[in-house]
Chain A
Amino acid sequence: MKLTLRLAWRNLWRNRRRTLIVVMAMAMMMSFLIMYDSMILGFETAVYGNAIKLSGGNIQIRANGYADSYSPNPMLPMGNGLDVVQAAEAQPGVAVALRHANTGGLVTNHEGVFPVGIYGIEPEKEKPVNPVMQDEFLIAGRFLQIDDEDAIFIGKGLADAMGIGVGDRIPLSGKNTNEEMSKRTMTVIGVYDINLASLERQVVYISLKAAQDLYGLGDNITEVILFTEITGKENPIVEELNASLSGYEISTWKSAIPELSSTVEMKNAVMTGFSAVLLGIAAIGIFNILLMAIYERTKEIGLLGAIGLKPREITLLFLVEGIMIGFVGAVVGTVLGYLITSVLGIFGLNYGFAVDMIDYLALMGTHIYPAFDINLTLQRAGMVALISSIAALYPALEASRREPATALHHV
């Protein structure tokens, strides 16, 4: 057996060019497969990532009882949330954990009554990651600051509907911990515009401290929102968090925005189905090339037979070679695929050329950042190695059964 291994390894490198072509074919195909898979993951983040950030983040951690509550914005204190933030940010894949004190309420003026969600946020932490708080969307005033007390940050949609601007004062009522309405007059400190009027009308931002004071929360917050690095891979994070945190309800955007989730899932089901076909094409290619590589050596097989190797031993030798080359191809392919995906993951693929969407900049990016999935890649690598073993077995069996004399005369 040891001899067979040594022979096989040596055979592999005896004809370097041939082996290189086979390995190159496997590696290139694997890279394409890996890029395809990683683009499916990146697709969700590119198209829906910001929409998810705007409508409640990838993962929400709240006090028990939230899901069973009838109210869309129940006031359930969950402690100061610092331990939750720490636990969440320790998880790989979590980009940031944000503390919110949210409640439902109203803003009123002579134009009418406008129901809004009131988000109490930590300005310094929210600013870099919240899509609406990017400099390019600020059309007037400034962003919230940590010690702002009666300042409110609103969207253009609401400002237009109410006919107000920076510096104007509006009464804000919100449900407090006793299920009663607390009222306070706030000054508009800044206005953002992401060109989604209906969304802008639904949410106002105040500082966490102001929210806690207004609603009698003390040190408490009502939710911790997590943004993950990759959209669509929340489940493992949720499992980890469920194990390390107790007494909280953890949900993902999939339950919060089912219509988006179903769209994404449908698209993924379709694209994954297609990737199976793509794997089939790669399999045919690898099979074909390996068959060529072995039939090319019919004469050599005859020679081995002539010097006394049994058909079984010849088959074994070629099978081992097939496994080895498959292994080498899979390793090179994985490394190559990883490198390409990582580079693309840093720079992103620009698809902005085809889309005229300046209007929805906050909602959708112009780049797709492929994301590498190690498990899927290992599956692909396994398939490549398996195909190459099968591809090696078939011609080796056939060739080893030939009469050495005829095989030797093969041209």
Chain B
Amino acid sequence: MNYILKMSFRNLMRNKRRSVFSALAIAIGTALLLFMSATIRGEMRGSLDLTINLRTGHLQIHAEDYKDANMSLKRADMIEAPLDISNQIEEIPQVKAASPRLNISGILAFKNETIGVQIIGIDPPSAANAIYKDGMVSGEFLTSDDREGVLIGLPLAESLDLGPGDSIDLILNTSEGDTDEQRFTIRGVYTTNTPGYDKATIFMPLEKAQTISRTENHASMIYILLYEMDDTAAVKAAIHAPGYIIEDWEELNKLIILVEQLSNAMMFFFNLMVLGVTSTVIMNTLLMAVYERTREMGILGALGMKGKQIRSLFLTEATLLALGGVIVGLAIGVPLVLYYAQVGFFFGDLGISANSSFMLGNSIYPHPTVGDVISVSLAAFLITILSGYYPATQASKLEPVEALHSNN
């Protein structure tokens, strides 16, 4: 066995350029596969994270009949005394923040413009608002006792040329089925880097939102953020909220998770194509090498080497190529993916609407996993060896006498 290894290594070294090219094809293939899977995973994860932070939270508590799409303000669809419940939940150690939110649909009127918006009543001091607090561009964040202040998003502020201190009129639905109009002052401008969301979402303090929509001491939902996504099930079991239902991010983001599964399934076919190209390179290169060295095979055969041994000689060559290619591929791919996982690809404003259940930020951050690295390497490795099988079999079938007479 040892001499076969030695011979195949020498064979590869004898034609360095060819070996380097072949290994390079495997290497780029491996790096590409790694990059592709990390990017798709990162894209989906990014949109899931964003949706969780902006809209759904890791867990939500709401009344049985409440549906987010309706923004219903009926008492029966709402949670009573929400702060009592949220304070109780915040005592669970894995919970980062729990905070009541009141969603109201409304219209922003400014000069001649009327724009449909969603108004969210938030509890200003809660840690659940960190994403908005960190994204303040100008002005101040809300305070609990503010009776006429609101926060608007950066794209809305830019398109209407508004800033802190300016006034806008808001027309809001109320629990009594009619609407109420009131003038508000912009306290600050925020951005979450999700243009579609920022364009159509306005924040005001919970108490004021309850007053204007006549839903005193009620909220649409309790929004819960955890430190770790993996704790979701444990926290869900620990929450005690009789009469209300608790939904986790998987239930709240069914569509995103579905699209994720779909993308993964489809990536399987895209990966096959990449592996197909790589395997074609290896198979044809080795096949060419077999015919190029026909006479050599003849000599080996005449010296008493068996067909099986000749086959394992070629298979060993393929294995060595695969090994080198995969290692180089990982050496290129892993640092590249890690770099982009930090920096992200920038895409700019993609104009995504606030109410879409599918939200994307303006960058994709590839998300490599150890599992991906292992499966990609394994796939590239196995495909290469498999591609070597046919050429190796051809080589082993050569008749020594005929091979010796070959021109090559």
A198 within 8 A of B: yes
Q: Are A280 and B28 in contact (CB under 8 A)?
A: yes
B163 to chain A, nearest CB (A): 26
Out of A21, A43, A287, A291, name the residue touching B287 (CB < 8 Å).
Answer: A21
Known: A258-B352, A259-B352, A289-B284. A351 touches B269 (CB 8 A): yes
Q: Are A266 and B347 in contact (CB under 8 A)?
A: yes
A320 to chain B, nearest CB (A): 21
Q: Which residue from chain B places its CB closest to the CB of A355 in the assembled complex?
A: B261
A24 within 8 A of B: yes
A170 to chain B, nearest CB (A): 19
Interface residues of A in 1-57 (CB under 8 A from B): 17-18, 21-22, 24-25, 28-29, 32-33, 35-36, 39, 43, 46-47
Query: Which residues of the other chain, B, contact A47 by a CB distance below 8 angstroms?
Result: 259, 262-263, 266
Q: Are A284 and B352 in contact (CB under 8 A)?
A: no
Q: Are B21 and A288 in contact (CB under 8 A)?
A: yes
Out of A197, A282, A285, A291, name the residue touching B67 (CB < 8 Å).
Answer: A197
Known: A32-B276, A47-B259. A288 touches B353 (CB 8 A): no
Known: A266-B364, A360-B258. A29 touches B288 (CB 8 A): no
Q: Are B32 and A278 in contact (CB under 8 A)?
A: yes
- How far is it, in angstroms, between the C-alpha of A363 and the C-alpha of B19 when the chains are bound? 48
- How far is it, in angstroms, between the C-alpha of A371 and the C-alpha of B115 when the chains are bound? 40
Interface residues of B in 285-310 (CB under 8 A from A): 285, 287-289, 291-292
Known: A281-B25, A281-B29. A289 touches B266 (CB 8 A): no
Interface mask (A357-401 → B, CB under 8 Å = 1, otherwise 0): 101100010001000000000000000000000000000000000
Interface residues of B in 315-372 (CB under 8 A from A): 345, 347, 350-353, 356, 358, 360, 364
Q: Are B284 and A32 in contact (CB under 8 A)?
A: no
B286 to chain A, nearest CB (A): 10
Query: Which residues of the other chain, A, contact B21 by a CB distance below 8 angstroms?
Result: 284-285, 287-288, 291
A293 within 8 A of B: yes
Q: Are B28 and A281 in contact (CB under 8 A)?
A: yes
Interface mask (B251-285 → A, CB under 8 Å = 1, otherwise 0): 00011001101111110111001101110110011
Interface mask (A257-288 → B, CB under 8 Å = 1, otherwise 0): 01110110111011100100110111011011
Query: Which residues of the other chain, A, contact B284 by a CB distance below 8 angstroms?
Result: 21-22, 24-25, 28, 285, 289
A356 within 8 A of B: yes
Known: A284-B21, A292-B289, A292-B292. A198 touches B69 (CB 8 A): yes
Interface-lining segment among B35-43, B95-103, B182-190: B35-43
Q: Are B277 and A278 in contact (CB under 8 A)?
A: yes
Q: Are B18 and A262 in contact (CB under 8 A)?
A: no
Q: Are A39 and B269 in contact (CB under 8 A)?
A: yes
Out of A274, A284, A293, name the residue touching B281 (CB < 8 Å).
Answer: A284
Query: Which residues of the other chain, B, contact A46 by a CB distance below 8 angstroms?
Result: 266
- How far is it, in angstroms, between the C-alpha of A33 and the C-alpha of B273 when the chains are bound? 7
Q: Are B25 and A284 in contact (CB under 8 A)?
A: yes
Interface mask (A198-235 → B, CB under 8 Å = 1, otherwise 0): 10010000000000000000000000000000000000
Query: Which residues of the other chain, A, contact B274 by a CB distance below 8 angstroms?
Result: 36, 278, 281
Q: Are B258 and A357 in contact (CB under 8 A)?
A: yes
B174 to chain A, nearest CB (A): 15
Out of B24, B36, B273, B360, name the residue touching A263 (CB < 8 Å).
Answer: B360
Q: Are A285 and B281 in contact (CB under 8 A)?
A: yes
Q: Are B281 and A259 in contact (CB under 8 A)?
A: no
Interface residues of B in 1-47 (CB under 8 A from A): 17-18, 21-22, 24-25, 28-29, 32, 35-36, 39-40, 43
Q: Which residue from chain A places its CB closest to the CB of B408 in the assembled complex?
A: A296
Q: Are A281 and B278 in contact (CB under 8 A)?
A: yes
Out of A259, A296, A356, name the residue touching B358 (CB < 8 Å).
Answer: A259
The dominant DSSP class at the B interface is helix
Q: Are B258 and A39 in contact (CB under 8 A)?
A: no
Out of A267, A269, A284, name the residue touching B28 (CB < 8 Å).
Answer: A284
Q: Are B25 and A285 in contact (CB under 8 A)?
A: yes
Query: Which residues of the other chain, B, contact A28 by a CB distance below 8 angstroms?
Result: 276, 280, 284
Q: Are B43 and A266 in contact (CB under 8 A)?
A: yes
Q: Which residue from chain A places its CB closest to the CB of B391 in the assembled complex?
A: A21
Query: Which residues of the other chain, B, contact A36 by a CB distance below 8 angstroms?
Result: 270, 273-274
Out of A280, A291, A354, name the residue touching B18 (CB < 8 Å).
Answer: A291
Q: Which residue from chain A places its CB closest to the CB of B32 in the assembled complex?
A: A277
Q: Are B266 and A281 in contact (CB under 8 A)?
A: no
A349 within 8 A of B: yes
B205 within 8 A of A: no
- How far is it, in angstroms, between the C-alpha of A264 and the C-alpha of B342 when the chains are bound? 24
- How far is it, in angstroms, between the C-alpha of A381 and the C-alpha of B291 when the chains are bound? 27
Out of A17, A277, A349, name the residue touching B269 (CB < 8 Å).
Answer: A349
- How far is it, in angstroms, between the C-alpha of A354 and the C-alpha of B271 when the chains are bound? 15
Query: Which residues of the other chain, B, contact A280 by a CB distance below 8 angstroms?
Result: 28
Q: Which residue from chain A places its CB closest to the CB of B347 in the assembled complex?
A: A266
Query: Which residues of the other chain, A, contact B254 by a CB distance below 8 angstroms?
Result: 359
B196 within 8 A of A: yes
B19 to chain A, nearest CB (A): 10
- How far is it, in angstroms, between the C-alpha of A70 and the C-alpha of B113 when the chains are bound? 10
Query: Which residues of the other chain, A, contact B18 by a CB distance below 8 angstroms?
Result: 288, 291-292
A355 to chain B, nearest CB (A): 5
- How far is it, in angstroms, between the C-alpha of A277 and the C-alpha of B269 when the chains are bound? 17
B27 to chain A, nearest CB (A): 9
- How far is it, in angstroms, between the C-alpha of A4 and the C-alpha of B266 when the chains are bound? 48
Interface residues of B in 189-206 (CB under 8 A from A): 196
A35 to chain B, nearest CB (A): 6
Out of B17, B268, B277, B358, name the residue touching A281 (CB < 8 Å).
Answer: B277
Q: Are B25 and A35 in contact (CB under 8 A)?
A: no
Out of B40, B264, B273, B353, name the residue touching A35 (CB < 8 Å).
Answer: B273
- How far is it, in angstroms, between the C-alpha of A278 and the C-alpha of B114 when the chains are bound? 49
Known: A18-B291, A39-B270, A39-B273. A285 touches B262 (CB 8 A): no
Known: A25-B284, A266-B43, A288-B285. A354 touches B351 (CB 8 A): no
A41 to chain B, nearest CB (A): 12
- How far is it, in angstroms, between the C-alpha of A293 and the C-alpha of B291 when the chains are bound? 10
- How far is it, in angstroms, between the C-alpha of A347 and the C-alpha of B247 when the chains are bound? 39
Q: Which residue from chain B places its CB closest to the CB of A269 in the assembled complex?
A: B347
Q: Are B277 and A33 in contact (CB under 8 A)?
A: yes
Query: Which residues of the other chain, B, contact A364 by a CB distance below 8 angstroms?
Result: 258, 262
Out of A267, A270, A285, A355, name the residue touching B258 (CB < 8 Å).
Answer: A355
Q: Are B67 and A198 in contact (CB under 8 A)?
A: yes
- How far is it, in angstroms, between the C-alpha of A388 and the C-alpha of B368 when the chains are bound? 36
Query: Which residues of the other chain, B, contact A25 by a CB distance below 8 angstroms?
Result: 280-281, 284
10 further contact pairs, Cβ within 8 A, besides A36-B274, A259-B356, A291-B21: A28-B284, A36-B273, A39-B273, A197-B69, A201-B69, A262-B350, A277-B32, A281-B278, A284-B25, A289-B285
B residues apposed to A, CB below 8 Å: 17-18, 21-22, 24-25, 28-29, 32, 35-36, 39-40, 43, 67, 69, 114, 196, 254-255, 258-259, 261-266, 268-270, 273-274, 276-278, 280-281, 284-285, 287-289, 291-292, 345, 347, 350-353, 356, 358, 360, 364, 408
Enumerate 20 A-B pairs (CB-CB under 8 Å) in ascending A order: A18-B291, A21-B284, A25-B284, A28-B284, A32-B280, A39-B269, A47-B263, A260-B358, A274-B36, A280-B28, A282-B280, A285-B281, A285-B284, A292-B289, A296-B288, A296-B292, A296-B408, A349-B269, A354-B268, A355-B262
Give me the 6 closest cross-chain CB pairs, A-B, nearest first: A285-B281, A262-B350, A354-B265, A25-B284, A351-B265, A288-B21
